[in-house]
Amino acid sequence: MRELLRGLTAALEEGREQIVCQVIETKGSTPQKAGALMVVDPDGGQLGTLGGGCVEAEVKQKAIGRIGAREAELQSFVLDHDYAWADGLVCGGKMVIVSEAMRGSEALAYFQAFRRLLEAGEGFTQAVIVDAARAGGTVGGRLLFGPTGELVACWPEDLRGSVPGITVPDLAERPKPTVKNGVAYLPTLPRIRLVIVGAGHVGQAVAALASQTDFDVWVIDDRRQYANAERLPSAQKIIVGPIDDVLPGLEITPHTFALIVTRGHGHDQEALYYLAPTSASYVGLIGSRRKIKMIFQSLEEMGISPEILSRVSAPVGLEIGSQTVSEIAVSIVAELIARRNLGPVSATVGSPLCASTSDRERL
């Protein structure tokens, strides 16, 4: 999404018209969920995706035909056997997509604000008018609200103050996209900072994969030959120093996940001593059950309560039969994504989150 918005704002700055296509409502199983964006250039170029297949192709074709148009268009797709068999999109769900040509300074100001909020990572809500008779304004009109519900930008600008029924959801309650009173609410939750303690092979692999799945990655290690930009090019921040120097002063919030994958039990125990009592909403520890039991016993003797240790995820990673470093990283990042998207749920063998059983203790 960040790359898409960079491309969109750059095109608008150059005065090039762009057609913005966005999923605003879904029901059932669909290839993309509400909030997904695709930007189509008049020459046929494309940024982002609506899920591929016939739906995306049809939306793109119609979008190019809307060059110069002033009104937005709503399209509904039912992904049934008759419609999408050839493209493998027999999901059984429904998608509603709004497409609108964007141009000029007002559109640029709106998407620049959108980009700033996304890059800040504190969360925001898009409100898109889908039924003008119920909501007011015009179909495709957009309002952008910041993390505390303050109005940040409108498209078009004269929409400001003309839509009285807007009720912005509380991001702290992890709201889902919804349509209410003619307005589609598309919340973007605050981005999670993933603090990885340990820059070895597993830490490096997790950092790369977590960055691709929209975590802000920080890596901590006392070995500069491991903790450096060459090995960790996607990390937002790399901190080199001893655990007992770095972790006590590290900023930790409820929007922080912490993962401990150091090179030894002693370092793991030291990191967990500092991280377990923090406000981080997830603390994960790699290793065998025997090792984890020993570390927990030692920490209890040091004054860390069983209640605090009970919130630690250990051994970390979903059960997918991990064998290699890359597979271990996949299992860990899958658990991180599940915790971010679903909350503190327990994944079990046979659930949609698990491909197979695993031997996560082979580390």
- Burial, 308: exposed, middle or buried (Cβ in 10 Å; 0-12, 13-18, 19+)? middle
Residue pair 260/309 in contact (Cβ under 8 Å)? The answer is no
Phi then psi for residue 204, to 5 deg, are: -65, -45
Cα–Cα distance list, 296 to 8, 151, 208, 362 (Å):
50, 47, 29, 19
Whole-angstrom distance, CA of residue 155 vs CA of residue 352: 39
Residue pair 227/199 in contact (Cβ under 8 Å)? The answer is yes
Low-confidence ranges of the chain (pLDDT < 50): 84-85, 88-90, 346-363
Show Cβ contacts of residue 140 under 8 Å, excluding neighbours closer than 6 positions.
Answer: 71, 72, 73, 98, 100, 128, 129
Q: What is residue 249's predicted lDDT score, i.e. its pLDDT? A: 95
Residue pair 321/357 in contact (Cβ under 8 Å)? The answer is yes
Q: What is residue 82's predicted lDDT score, i.e. its pLDDT? A: 54
- Which of 189, 177, 74, 59 is closest to 127 using CA atoms? 177
- Domains in the chain, start-ordered, CATH in brackets? 2-188 (no CATH), 193-314 (3.40.50.720)
Q: What is residue 269's predicted lDDT score, i.e. its pLDDT? A: 97
Whole-angstrom distance, CA of residue 219 vs CA of residue 239: 6
Show Cβ contacts of residue 225 under 8 Å, excluding neighbours closer than 6 positions.
Answer: none
Q: What is residue 53's predicted lDDT score, i.e. its pLDDT? A: 76
Q: What is residue 94's predicted lDDT score, i.e. its pLDDT? A: 85
* Residue at 120: amino acid letter: A
